[in-house]
Structure 1
Amino acid sequence: MYKKIASVLILVALVSCKTKSITTTVIPTQNTEENNLGDTDYTQIITKEFTGDLAYSTTAFVEKYWRVVGNTGFNKSIHYVAAELEKAGYVLQEKATENTILTYRIEKRPLKQPTWESVDASLTIKGDNLPLLQNSTNSNMIALNSYSTPENGVTAEVIYIDDISKLKDTDVKGKIVFVETSPARVFNTAIVKGGAAGILSYNNPSYLQPEKNTTSIQFRSIPLNEEAKGWAIALSYAAKEKLKKRLQKEKVIVTANIKTNIYPSTELTLVADIKGAVNPEQRLVYSAHVQEPGANDNATGVGVALEMATITAKLIKEGKLNPKRTLTFLWGDEIVSTRRYVQEDKIRAKNIKWGISLDMVGENTAITGGSFLIEKMPDPSAIWTRGNDKHTEWGGSVLSLEQMKPHYLNDFVLKIFKEQGKRANWEVNTNPYEGGSDHTPFLAADIPGVLFWHFTDQFYHTDNDRLDKVSKNTLKNVGTAALTSAYKLLNADEETAKIIILDIEKAAISRLQEELKQGKIALANGDKLETQIEIINAWQNWYAKAVSSTLDMVINASTINATISKAQATIKQTAEQCIAELKK
């Protein structure tokens, strides 16, 4: 997950993929209420089917690799998922017929820049018997895009720069620069202009609890520069402290030995479709990015999506499910693949009704901290964050009313996940919109989208984000609730819409009552009445529009217009009562 890190979309040509053919599975269509799950409660059957076993074994396979788009680990992960899809009955799209329900394809695109992968590394202080760091135990120590050192490594003096602004005036030629900031920030000054031999850096954020997790290294990157062929090593807290203490006593010489592979490659994106029986052009998309080197981030998302896809195939083949709309699973490069999927086909994008990101969805929170979160579509809590609404440690920019995305999806999925939480004694929370994962391209295209994830995670983006931090129970809980949500949306009709409208009405009343409470507290603290009224009105407007958004479930608006109007009237009346109470 790249929370709050900008991603640049590279527009490249689409190249078809050829892989082995398989036998097409003939899938019976069942129309009886018993066998076609319709708009029933899917929980019982999904709970039985979703064991978490495939999600966990997939996580275990994927997390073994340091994954960057186009490298060995990324590509092996894509092909592993594709092979499991074939076992489940998915047919390679180019081999499918018009009547094939389960299909998949691997899209291939040339990468404009070479891919990268780490092989081995060590950092040793002269005079010490053991390395200060080694890649076998700190797989994030080599900064992404680092080149290999000569065969015998680079031996040079370490020079500590405590004030980055002074770097440009410091002679670092032939020396190894040690900074407490991102290596990318000093790369040009130190390596390209200054002629430094390399960079040692440390900047683990406080939420990683570095003084407790002293061996953790959060992965870093530097610009890919073929001429400079620079390298950087990120330090753990323990390594940083030891190095600083030695520098206070004496001149320090270190040997850095790095081996990496940098080579031309191809970007792979895997797309699996379960074709809808009634409105196949309408679809729900679950996106799970493959790149990033951790277990929770995001091998767990890859695994949960795969088990969801295989269970869906099983239920369809057994005649127990016949979804009206298409369900799509997307595995690729975070934000880049999802954005392309949304942008490259305007007709397809117009019919994407919901987009959901599966990112960091398998955490053992007793170890990692935090809780499961649903990051909501932009609502007024992203403007006025108070009461039970809390941003994560990442934080989020304050939005404007013009950036709101009123829709039923927030409260719809929250209800289903809360129900799963109650059954499984599993904590479920929400956070205001922050962005930074595969839900953002959907929202940018005005497609309803939410993020399923965990935070805080004290091992986030570190080389201690390993399989022992993953919980099969969490994988099962997320997968069960996510698949239940999917089936209800795929088969949604006017009856579903009416139920959701009533749920939104209840959620709106609860929210307005909470904002009344928070408004009174604010007034007691000297805040303006006008601001509190503005907040109430913002929530009233948001929920009124969220109620109207259920029209996307029905063919004939007249079937639910009365229900919508009644709910909107109740919401408006509640808002007026809250404002009247505030004015007293």
Structure 2
Amino acid sequence: MRFVLTLIILASLISCSHNSSLDNVPSSYFGMVTSEFNGDVAMETTAFVEQFWRVAGNTGFNQTVYRIVEKLETAGFVEESRAKEEDILTYRIEKRPMKSPTWEPVDAKLRIMGEEIPLLEYKTNRNMIYQYASSTPKEGVTAEVVYVESIEDLDVLNVKGKIVYANINPYRLYKKAIIEGGALGLITYNNPDYLQPEKNVTSIQFRGIPYDENNPVWGIALSYSAKERLEKALAKGKVTVNAFVKTNIYPSEELTVVANVKGGELQKESLVFSAHIQEPGANDNATGVGTQLEMALITATLIKNEKLDFKRTLTFLWGDEIISTRRYIEEKEKRTSDINWGISLDMVGENTDITGGTFLIEKMPDPSAIWTRGNDKHSEWGGRPLKLDEMKPHYLNDFIINVFEDQGKRANWEVQTNPFEGGSDHIPFLDADLPGILLWHFTDQFYHTDNDRIDKVSKKTMTNVGIAALVSAYTLLNSDASTSDWMRQGIVEAAKERLTTEFELSKTAIIDGATKESQIEILNAWSDWYVKAIGTTKDMTSDPDIDIEIKKSQGDIQVFTDDLLKKM
């Protein structure tokens, strides 16, 4: 989907209805942002953050928080408790006790007794330790390895005093093997096919186990090459290994950074960017942290140099994925503004020539998440088919796509979309019935693996994402009746394009045996989604004539739909 009207056509449409300038449409911000955003801060920050295995409350997470704060202060953000009424740029660190302790890996080694070269070492495979694994004794644990093909095998196998090896996720395995079976520890392998494990033989996708202070458990995840060596040894007979794991588990506090750029006459309305800190990788999600930080610093520079001001408030949020964003949304008493829009930055810096996949805009739930066909495709992350009552009609989908495709044309950068799938910081916005969208990449052959390092990151990609994200934000924050007109006209054209595409797909589906009724349902679903999306443009303006204009646009879509249905 995309807006098919050019800005020249849109300019004439808007000038006819409001006779106002186009200072608030996206084109007016591209030059301003592009001249400032070079990706240096994003790349430097990513390099700093990715050196740590980050879990809320641990050393790497907290050092990232204080690095962000240091940069914010240098750019002119003032800590809220010290801020004066006239301060536009403010920030705070929210601190909360954690119900469970934090965790961080320190060292590990796995070796087959009698073999000189270790199977794995932490210094080259930092994902080998299960998240929330406990430490072994200093000398490690030496025991026989027992291969378990399925969890049901544990009903008959005696694994007490031994180490269980299985190609099963440890979350499903640990209770039966350790708590009930008396095994000393776990070794697992289960890298999914999209990681191309036979090519990326040293990659380990991180795994975790529940923390239970009364039943400490250690475990090690294998790379493909380590798995092959272990299975080759097991094929010859009895195998004994020595497994050494060292981790730190300790009480801590959870930190969240909230930075605000105060708006003007509509400062009680806001747009929120969120980027989560936790995860062990570079692309996931040090790039989101770094890109968002450069976005905040550029915004501060433009504000201080009086090149930019906002009618509405802009918020930047860094914290624990989903948890911090949900809490920020729910704790209304700590916010000075209501939330109009939410945008999540997650895995936004990939060098796609290396990682694979492409940059993606994950759309708010629309009918492509029910009927995924034509050019709509789910990523390997996947998503369950939604229902009609789960749709989230809103102009944000087509608006963000339009701006990012514009940047794609300017920078020769590929921009794609995927139907709604979930799993990141856009979820809390949607759960609160707020418009929320995800910026990300997939497929990534190094996703959640210890090969997701700085060499897989692209400064150019972070620059493209950062520019388009800021242009989108600035446009929305200063939106008014003219922007509403611009948006509405573009959505009508996007609706007609989508309906035409779906009509052609439905004609083919009927030829292939689908019922006419089923295809009419799809066409009506898309029409209804866009009619309701048109209605959401009302939030940009208090123009008393907006309802009349909205009904005209909605009627245009309905007439277009009816004409297609007659041809069905």
| Alignment TM-score, normalising by the size of structure 2 | 0.95
- 1:179-258 to structure 2, matched below 5 A, reads 179-258=166-245
Q: Could you report, residue by residue, the CA deviation over 1:134-156 in whole angstroms, capped at 9, with x for unpaired residues?
A: 00000000001111111111111
Superposed displacement of residue 563, structure 1: 2.8
Partner Cα distance (2:412, 2:530) in 1: 29
Partner Cα distance (1:538, 1:278) in 2: 38
Partner Cα distance (1:562, 1:147) in 2: 64
Residue 517 (structure 1) aligns with:
504
- 1:119-130 to structure 2, matched below 5 A, reads 119-130=106-117
Go from structure 1 to structure 2 and tell me whether the alpha carbon gap of 1:567 and 1:349 turns closer, same or farther (over 3 Å shift): farther
Partner Cα distance (1:223, 1:448) in 2: 33
Go from structure 1 to structure 2 and tell me whether the alpha carbon gap of 1:262 and 1:347 turns closer, same or farther (over 3 Å shift): closer
Partner Cα distance (1:506, 1:62) in 2: 42
**Are the counterparts in 1 of residues 283 and 347 from structure 2 also a CA contact under 8 Å?**
yes
Within the candidate set 556, 565, 568, 1:579 is matched to 565
Residue 550 (structure 2) aligns with:
564
Within the candidate set 487, 495, 517, 1:508 is matched to 495
Superposed displacement of residue 566, structure 1: 2.4
Partner Cα distance (1:444, 1:346) in 2: 19
Residue 11 (structure 2) aligns with:
none
Partner Cα distance (1:197, 1:159) in 2: 11
Superposed displacement of residue 164, structure 1: 1.8
**Are the counterparts in 1 of residues 91 and 259 from structure 2 also a CA contact under 8 Å?**
yes
Superposed displacement of residue 38, structure 1: 4.5
Within the candidate set 77, 81, 87, 1:94 is matched to 81
Partner Cα distance (1:557, 1:113) in 2: 52
Q: Could you report, residue by residue, the CA deviation over 1:279-327 in whole angstroms, capped at 9, with x for unpaired residues?
A: 1110000000000000000000000110000000000000000110000
Within the candidate set 431, 435, 440, 2:418 is matched to 431
- Runs (5+) with no aligned partner, structure 2: 1-19
- 1:521-540 to structure 2, matched below 5 A, reads 521-540=508-527
Q: Could you report, residue by residue, the CA deviation over 1:339-370 in whole angstroms, capped at 9, with x for unpaired residues?
A: 10111217959820001100000000001011
Residue 310 (structure 1) aligns with:
297
Superposed displacement of residue 65, structure 1: 0.1
Go from structure 1 to structure 2 and tell me whether the alpha carbon gap of 1:581 and 1:37 turns closer, same or farther (over 3 Å shift): closer
- Runs (5+) with no aligned partner, structure 1: 1-32
- 1:49-448 to structure 2, matched below 5 A, reads 49-345=36-332, 348=335, 351-448=338-435
Partner Cα distance (2:203, 2:315) in 1: 36
Residue 551 (structure 1) aligns with:
538
* Root-mean-square deviation over aligned CA pairs: 1.4
Query: What secondary structure sits across from 1:60 in the alignment?
Result: helix
Partner Cα distance (2:311, 2:45) in 1: 29
Go from structure 1 to structure 2 and tell me whether the alpha carbon gap of 1:542 and 1:103 turns closer, same or farther (over 3 Å shift): same
Go from structure 1 to structure 2 and tell me whether the alpha carbon gap of 1:349 and 1:326 turns closer, same or farther (over 3 Å shift): closer
Residue 8 (structure 2) aligns with:
none
Query: What secondary structure sits across from 1:108 in the alignment?
Result: strand
Partner Cα distance (2:408, 2:336) in 1: 32
Q: Could you report, residue by residue, the CA deviation over 1:385-442 in whole angstroms, capped at 9, with x for unpaired residues?
A: 1001111112111111111111000000000000000111111011111111000000
Partner Cα distance (1:150, 1:541) in 2: 63
Runs of at least 4 residues off by over 4 Å: 36-40, 346-350
**Are the counterparts in 2 of residues 158 and 176 from structure 1 also a CA contact under 8 Å?**
yes
Go from structure 1 to structure 2 and tell me whether the alpha carbon gap of 1:520 and 1:38 turns closer, same or farther (over 3 Å shift): closer
Greater mean alpha carbon deviation, residues 142-151 or residues 222-231: 222-231
Aligned pair count? 548
